[in-house]
Structure 1
Amino acid sequence: MKWLVLLALVALSECLVKVPLRRGKSLRQNLKEHGLLADYLRRHQYNPATKYFPSLAQVSNQPLENYMDIEYFGTIGIGTPPQTFTVIFDTGSANLWVPSVYCSSSACSNHNKFNPQQSSTYRSTSTSVSIAYGTGSMTGFLGYDTVQVGGIEDTNQIFGLSQTEPGSFLYYSPFDGILGLAYPNIAASGATPVFDNLWNQGLVPQDLFSVYLSSDDQSGSVVIFGGIDSSYYSGNLNWVPVSSEGYWQITVDSISMNGQVIACSGSCQAIVDTGTSMLTGPSNPIANIQNYIGATENSNGEYMINCNNINSMPEIIFTINGIQFPLPASAYVSQTQSGCTSGFQSMNLPTSSGELWILGDVFIRQYFVVFDRGNNQVGMAPVA
């Protein structure tokens, strides 16, 4: 039965280009005469990963908006016709969810809400879902619908519809929901993540995606599904094995400054997380780093730095898989009209492999990152 289905799908894709065939002429000749040859060849270029769906796979760019160097989000559509939502593309979680018309929390009152009754392709389930983040949480239930992401039509995508979004964080957030890009084994309620669904349906040519995050509130940030664009980086990509397939977790050899190891002596575990704005680590090492860079805590819990010192402050070096990834002071110090603050923050995340560091946007803005699911590795190179 499986092969009959596959053959039927291939036959269906062949019917996408309809031209009257003339006796004695090849398909190529007929397509050329009708001005359809180039489009046909583009649709049917061969890729081993998608040989049964040759017309569907494409590299897709999902533009992101940089919101004050704090959050990066993009616009997707859910349902038929599509209902529009802004979501964070988050490599630190694995679920897609948006507010729903069934949500009674104040956070839903000022955000777009999904209405299943207005989608002809929505399918309900009886499965509940609950997700907690470092800041904010949601509860709700799961449903299936078509998701428009980066110009791709992702059919039969499972996603969460929120019923509660407690607290104030999500109320003040400029985005509606979250689209998780981590491994499926950390997805709440066993939901299949969006990227897994794209790959399983043969909608992307490679089992990877890559991310560029702009600096200084500028435009141009992007998630590239199924491809790598070398124009975003300089030099070569340095590949780092994933040490645990849940988050995008890697091993950091050490963190040093002026040739001296100041944290992560003897290696530590870190996750590469587009959904965290700062660079976080366990309390004691972060306190040491704040001291090294001359950051002092104010009454609001912010670590302030004298703006006049930035040009003379040293790089902080993250050595990963034997390669040095330097962060200049211009990267780890945030400058605003109210002063300069440290981009480091303490956050204790205990796991079986030790306390986790988070290489958030402070780090990722300096490095183009490839998240390679096919080979379970992360590629990084300095941004161009």
Structure 2
Amino acid sequence: MHFLISLWLSLWLLCLFWAKCQGQLIRVPMQYQASFMASRRQHRAGRSSLLAKYNVAGGQEAATLRNGGATETLDNRLNLEYAGPISIGSPGQPFNMLFDTGSANLWVPSAECSPKSVACHRHHRYNASASSTFVPDGRRFSIAYGTGSLSGILAQDMVTIGQLVVRNQTFAMATHEPGPTFVDTNFAGIVGLGFRPLAEQRIKPLFESMCEQQLVDECVFSFYLKRNGSERMGGELLFGGLDKTKFSGTLTYVPLTHAAYWQFPLDAIEVGGTAISHHRQAIADTGTSLLAAPPREYLIINSLLGGLPTANNEYLLNCSEIDSLPEIVFIIGGQRFGLQPRDYVMSATNDDGSRICLSAFTLMEAEFWILGDVFIGRYYTAFDAGQRRIGFAPAA
């Protein structure tokens, strides 16, 4: 009998230990919007929102890497966005959310949203009165978007992702959502994964709370984004570490140069084996699909691709010549990270339904790069907040 009791206790402790260990790596399935062909209008909307996100005023004013967050944006990209589930409150109220490393605030639509906010009423809304763990804050919240201002009220509640429960997380309940920006998105709100200096009102970001509450073994999260996925199989966001089955070789890490955005040094860029730029800064941003380049590199790359410029700062490419286009290489930490034409050429439809091919390299009137999902989808990306570094390896 004593042996059986000891065995039972050992198994029970082993089960507890195993559950605890399993709880340290939280997997969030990424859903990729089902339609693979965006319209030309949606690509233009994506570029406009990207410029607003990084404070580029109509292409006339150079953007700066700001210390505090006052302007964020998100485009209505339909087939170019990744989202995953969380829940807020007790009992949990489910939301499909965009996980955005280019911003730092958490917000969801509120049950008290304005009747005029069409986007709010098309998504699930947070009902404060239905949560036993809701704590009012009372402060007003506002973020300026390219199409208007998202505003609401701050609150606290528990946020659940998988088996992980973050307590006393401050977030925004949106009561007004801007224009058509979020109407047709497959997500209700945003989980900002940038650093606190980027957050509106310097609110503690969700991942910082995870680390402070010791909910993860490592203060690291990592993205694996499929570029040919479906709504059910778009990739994975992993909180607490890495999944070595999702990449090949070893990760190349570089230190962050400014812990607000995930900003790091970019050694050089090569097109077809010829270097066109050296010693730039770059930002890894899961909240945008494009590759935003400084003016000089933007013109050089699109010219070398044989692109035809348009009045809207797009470059049209010949769809029948895609396979002959060169590899474009980003050198990071002394290692080469190449993109093939299939990575950086985006298919779209004109208003008449005809297919066109567009360059994913868009103009940023600033002297830094934005590496969005076009790059992150090709290279598994580890965001190491604990050691203030970022790592890349070829995605499996």
Shorter chain as denominator, the TM-score bin is 0.7 to 0.9
Of 228, 246, 251, which aligns to 1:216?
A: 228
**Helix, strand or coil at the partner of 1:171:** coil
CA shift, 1:36, in A, is: 2.2
Q: CA deviation at 1:272?
A: 0.3
**Equivalent residue number for residue 163 of structure 1:** 175
Counterpart for residue 79 of structure 1: 89
1:59 aligns with 2:76: no
Quick check: 171-180 or 281-290, which moved more? Answer: 281-290
CA contact (8 A) 1:57 1:202 kept: no
Rounded to whole Å, the distance in 1 between the matches of 2:240 and 2:147 is: 30
Q: Is the contact made by 1:80 and 1:146 (CA closer than 8 Å) also made in structure 2? A: yes
Aligned to 2:65: none
Higher Rg: 1
Matches within 5 A, 1:1-384: 28-32=6-10, 36-43=12-19, 58-67=24-33, 68=36, 70-104=80-114, 105-132=117-144, 137-218=149-230, 219-262=233-276, 265-298=277-310, 302-336=314-348, 338-348=355-365, 350=366, 355-384=367-396
**3-state SS of 2:326 partner:** coil
TM-score (ref. length: structure 2)? 0.81
Q: In structure 2, what is the Cα distance between the partners aligned to 1:310 and 1:44?
A: 49
Equivalent residue letter for 1:250: F
Q: Is the 8 A contact 1:66 1:73 kept in 2?
A: yes
Give the drift of 1:298.
Answer: 4.5
Q: How far apart, in 1, do the equivalents of 2:319 and 2:99 lie?
A: 32
Partner Cα distance (2:17, 2:100) in 1: 34
Say if 1:57 and 1:205, in contact at 8 Å, map to a contact too.
no
Could you tell me whether the CA contact under 8 Å between 1:88 and 1:179 is conserved in 2? yes
Distance in 2, Cα, partners of 1:134 & 1:370:
29
Change over 3 Å in CA distance of 1:374–1:66 after alignment to 2: same
**Counterparts of 2:323 and 2:212 in 1: how far apart (Å)?**
48
Q: CA deviation at 1:236?
A: 1.0
Q: Deviations over 1:330-373 (max 9, x none)?
A: 1001235622211111133x5xxxx3311000111110000001
How much does 1:174 deviate? 2.2
Change (3 A) 1:175 1:135: farther
For residues 96 and 134 of structure 2, the distance between their equivalents in structure 1, rounded to whole angstroms, comes to: 19
Unaligned runs of 5+ in 2: 37-78, 350-354
Change in CA separation of 1:173 and 1:299 when aligned onto 2, cut-off 3 Å: farther
Structure 1: unaligned runs, 5 residues or longer: 1-21, 46-55
| Worse-superposed segment, 213-222 or 374-383 | 213-222
Alpha-carbon displacement from aligned partner over 1:61-95 (angstroms, at most 9, x marks no partner): 01110124510001111111111111110011111
Once the 2 structures are TM-superposed, how far is the Cα of residue 284 of structure 1 from its aligned partner?
Answer: 3.9
Q: Name whichever of 88-97 and 185-194 sits farther off.
A: 185-194
How far off its partner does 1:135 sit?
Answer: 6.8
* CA positional deviation for 1:40: 2.4
TM-score (norm 1): 0.83
Count of residues in Structure 1 that have an aligned counterpart in Structure 2: 343
How far 1:165 moved relative to its partner? 1.5
1:341 and 1:116 mapped to 2: Cα distance?
44
Q: SS at the partner of 1:39?
A: helix
Return the structure number with greater relative CO, CA threshold 8 A, min gap 6: 2
> Could you report, residue by residue, the CA deviation over 1:282-302 in whole angstroms, capped at 9, with x for unpaired residues?
334313221111222346654
Aligned partners of 1:347 and 1:140: how far apart in 2?
Answer: 30
Q: Quick one: distance in 2 between partners of 1:138 and 1:283?
A: 30
Q: 1:259 to 1:274 in 2, by over 3 A?
A: same
| RMSD after superposition | 2.2
Say whether the 8 Å CA contact 1:63–1:150 is kept in structure 2: no
Equivalents in 1 of 2:148, 2:229: separation in Å? Answer: 24
Check 1:266–1:133 CA distance in 2 against 1; reply closer, same or farther (3 A cut).
farther
How many Å separate the matches in 1 of 2:333 and 2:257?
Answer: 11
How far did 1:220 drift?
A: 4.4
Give percent identity, aligned residues only: 40
The answer to whether the Cα contact below 8 Å between 2:145 and 2:178 also exists between their aligned partners in 1 is no
In structure 2, how many angstroms separate the alpha carbons of the residues matched to 1:280 and 1:44?
41
